[in-house]
């Protein structure tokens, strides 16, 4: 877009958030409000300046990006004053794009159009039509040309009836911006240097103010409290869901689907209600995710069935595998083709081989399990000795009986069998049966205790 500088105003406290965090660090879809705005600016601008104030060190730590020039606004004297702090860092022969750190849904395409108009006319303003414009600065036009912006507190009755309002977002040739900022003063109800006053300065100077009128009020909506934050979260999620469905994803109910990361998918995938996607998640073709699942940073291949109420994180799941219901797949797990992880099974940092079944109530941690292995109900790999983690290796075709404990480090050979209820502490050879149960004893005269 040529030589363009973004100026993001992010100095406010946001008292109505009732939070120890600055307003711009409140999160929408797992990213801060400021990160959303920064992402759009980064796509269009050569340099990005962020004006910080309240809890500035906290803001800088969170948004740690070398592309940002941080500019402190020590005194909070209005938006015009905030922008003026950045002017020494900006060349005259550039475009300044003024953004707000609490307006997270602004579109890149809208900003690109605004910059283009500023390159042509010198100054371009983004406005929006609201049914209820109370609280916003009104756009004053004459013969369809913008003449001024009047803030709510300064407006007369006729001006209060105007429903085209200022968003605060504008693009201005930097030389003009510097010139007009030097002319504004605090002679308004707020007693602040208001950035909007530069519009009247430009008109008085004979400068045409071009504009873009947004058709989407949520695109330009700022966030002032937790109610508005939740409202924009739902708008953001619904927009994503609509885009995914247009790309071919089947969502049973788009109002009960959340994606808080990067999500890609193949053909004919289906997602049921109350599914949460986080981080980077990819699905292959014909994969189905049942209700109430959380999936984070996972690569899931073709024809995989994720049954209800599963938690899946930082793992790889290959073709044809079945997970759940009520399974937990923890980081560094690799589940191979057509494996089954069943009811109330937890797997951590393990490889589960092709066609292997871990069907019920088991814990598998720090293990390498071969192909066609059957793990019975209630089996535990005892991988932790109180200080260090140890590995369990199970060969192809092995069968581990229910309620067995495999005390690592340990190796179970190919086609070996472990009898139910065994605690195994030593290597089991290929094709060997091992068990550790004591001889069963029955007491003829034993009586069950009675309740006292």
309 is in an annotated binding site: no
131 is in an annotated binding site: no
284 is in an annotated binding site: no
151 is in an annotated binding site: yes
Write out the H or E segment, with its range, that includes residue 256. Answer: none
Beta-strand ranges (E) seen in 176-256 are 210-214, 250-251
Kind of pairing, strands 423-424 and 433-434?
A: unpaired
pTM, entire model: 0.88
383 is in an annotated binding site: yes
122 is in an annotated binding site: no
10 is in an annotated binding site: yes
Average pLDDT of the residues of the chain: 94
Structure confidence by residue, pLDDT tens digits, 93-125: 999 999 999 999 999 999 999 999 999 999 999
Task: Please give the pLDDT value at position 259.
Answer: 98
78 is in an annotated binding site: yes
Task: Please give the pLDDT value at position 124.
Answer: 96
290, two tokens? 């049942």
Task: Judge contact between 167 and 139, C-beta under 8 A.
Answer: no
286 is in an annotated binding site: no
For 192, 360, 373, 400, the CA distances from 328, given in Å and listed in that order, are: 55, 12, 19, 20
What are the sequence ranges of the domains in the chain?
4-214, 236-434
Q: Of 6, 4, 172, 175, which is closest to residue 92 (Cα–Cα)?
A: 175
Active site residue 360: yes
Distance CA 31, CA 53 (A): 20
Q: What is the 3-state secondary structure (H, E, C) of 231-251?
A: HHHHHHHHHHHHHHHHCCCEE
For 4, 104, 401, the CA distances from 35, given in Å and listed in that order, are: 19, 8, 52
Kind of pairing, strands 145-150 and 138-142?
A: antiparallel
111 is in an annotated binding site: no
Structure-token match 């109610």, residue found? 227
* Residue segments in the chain with a per-residue pLDDT below the cut of 70: 1-2, 188-189
Give the Cβ contact number of residue 147 at 10 Å: 16
Greatest CA separation found in the chain? 109
Residues 6+ apart with CB under 8 A from 161: none
Report, at the CATH architecture level, how domain 236-434 is classified.
3 Solenoid (2.160)
23 is in an annotated binding site: yes
378 is in an annotated binding site: no
Task: Please give the pLDDT value at position 1.
Answer: 53
According to CATH, the topology of domain 4-214 is Spore Coat Polysaccharide Biosynthesis Protein SpsA; Chain A (3.90.550)
101 is in an annotated binding site: yes
Distance CA 192, CA 427 (A): 78
Write out the H or E segment, with its range, that includes residue 437. Answer: none
The sign of the torsion formed by the CA atoms of 353, 334, 343, 392 equals positive
Task: Judge contact between 401 and 418, C-beta under 8 A.
Answer: yes
Distance CA 23, CA 36 (A): 13
450, two tokens? 């009675």
374 is in an annotated binding site: yes
Q: Please, which contacts does 76-79 make with residues 24 or more away whose CB atoms are closer than 8 Å?
A: 76/11, 76/12, 77/186, 77/192, 77/193, 78/186, 78/190, 78/192, 78/193, 78/194, 78/195, 79/9, 79/168, 79/192, 79/193, 79/194, 79/195, 79/196
Task: Please give the pLDDT value at position 82.
Answer: 94
Q: Of 379, 294, 384, 382, which is closest to residue 344 (Cα–Cα)?
A: 379
Structure confidence by residue, pLDDT tens digits, 368-380: 999 999 999 999 9
Q: Which of 49, 89, 360, 390 is catalytic?
A: 360
Structure-token match 């049914």, residue found? 131
Residues 6+ apart with CB under 8 A from 239: 105
Distance CA 218, CA 103 (A): 9
Task: Please give the pLDDT value at position 397.
Answer: 97
Kind of pairing, strands 328-329 and 311-317?
A: parallel
Cis amide linkage into residue 138, ω under 30° from 0: no
3-state secondary structure of 406: strand
Distance CA 15, CA 243 (A): 34
Beta bridge partners of 382: 407
């Amino acid at each position: 877009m040529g030589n363009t500088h973004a100026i993001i105003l992010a100095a406010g406290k946001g008292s109505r958030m009732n939070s120890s965090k600055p307003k711009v660090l409140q999160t929408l879809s797992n990213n801060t409000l400021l990160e959303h705005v920064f992402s759009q600016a980064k796509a269009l601008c050569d340099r990005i300046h962020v004006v910080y104030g309240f809890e500035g060190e906290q803001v800088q730590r969170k948004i740690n990006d070398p592309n940002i020039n941080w500019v402190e606004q020590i005194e909070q004297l209005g938006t015009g004053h905030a922008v003026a702090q950045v002017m020494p860092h900006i060349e005259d022969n550039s475009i300044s794009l003024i953004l707000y750190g609490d307006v997270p849904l602004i579109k890149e395409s809208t900003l690109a159009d605004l910059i283009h108009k500023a390159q042509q006319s010198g100054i371009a303003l983004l406005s929006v039509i609201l049914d209820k414009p109370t609280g916003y600065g009104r756009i004053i036009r004459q013969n369809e040309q913008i003449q001024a912006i009047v803030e709510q507190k300064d407006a007369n009755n006729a001006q209060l009836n105007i429903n085209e309002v200022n968003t605060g977002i504008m693009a201005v040739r930097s030389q003009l911006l510097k010139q007009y900022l030097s002319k504004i003063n605090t002679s308004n109800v707020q007693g602040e240097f208001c950035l909007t006053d530069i519009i009247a300065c430009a008109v008085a100077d004979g400068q045409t103010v071009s504009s873009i009128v947004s058709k989407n009020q949520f695109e330009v909506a700022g966030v002032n409290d937790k109610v508005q934050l939740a409202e924009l979260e739902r708008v953001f999620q619904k927009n994503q869901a609509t885009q995914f469905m247009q790309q071919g994803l089947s969502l049973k109910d788009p109002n009960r689907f959340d994606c808080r990361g990067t999500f890609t998918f193949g053909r004919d995938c289906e997602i049921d209600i109350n599914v949460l996607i986080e981080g980077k998640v990819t699905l292959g073709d014909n994969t189905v995710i049942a209700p109430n699942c959380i999936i984070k940073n996972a690569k899931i291949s073709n024809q995989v069935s994720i049954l209800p109420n599963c938690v899946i994180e930082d793992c790889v799941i290959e073709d044809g595998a079945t997970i759940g219901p009520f399974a937990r797949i923890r980081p560094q797990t690799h589940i191979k083709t057509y494996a089954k992880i069943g009811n109330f099974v937890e797997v951590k940092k393990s490889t589960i081989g092709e066609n292997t079944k871990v069907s019920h109530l088991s814990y598998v941690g720090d293990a390498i399990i071969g192909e066609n292995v059957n793990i019975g109900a209630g089996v535990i790999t005892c991988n932790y000795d109180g200080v260090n983690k140890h590995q369990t290796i199970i060969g192809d075709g092995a069968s581990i009986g229910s309620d067995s404990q495999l005390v690592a480090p340990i190796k179970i050979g190919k086609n070996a069998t472990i009898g139910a209820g065994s605690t195994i502490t030593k290597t089991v050879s290929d094709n060997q049966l091992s068990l550790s149960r004591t001889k069963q004893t029955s007491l003829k005269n034993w009586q069950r205790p009675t309740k006292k």
